[in-house]
Structure 1
């Protein structure tokens, strides 16, 4: 499986820099919200046909990496 960086980007000129699925305006937070609401991958793809299962998996890996972030002094 490819790293989440291959699927997610953040640029200041789109969605005020919020992380989003590459080449879309679909924020990672929206996809995570759907997953938290117990939508399965197929239901999310029905709502957003431009997404792939790998895009959705990348959102989960991105969230995991953020949760493991350690602040160093």
Structure 2
């Protein structure tokens, strides 16, 4: 089974959905996109998140 792009752990960011291996909340990506920013804008601001993680998350939505 492929590894999930996101993780929820009560000990990490209070259980909020984050990108696997980071403390970057998935909601932050959604806020960027809703604000008119691009995936590239988001990735530039959060280099610990990979493009693959973002695309996988969006495909799974």
TM-score by length of 2: 0.80
Query: Would you identify which runs of 4 or more consecutive aligned residues in structure 1 move more than 4 Å?
Result: none
Give the alignment's TM-score, normalised by structure 1: 0.69
Structure of greater relative contact order (alpha carbons < 8 Å, 6+ residues apart): 1
CA RMSD of aligned residues (A): 1.7
Q: Where in structure 2 are there 5+ consecutive unaligned residues? A: none
Task: Please tell me whether Structure 1 or Structure 2 has the larger radius of gyration of its CA atoms.
Answer: 1
Structure 1: gaps spanning 5 or more residues: 65-73
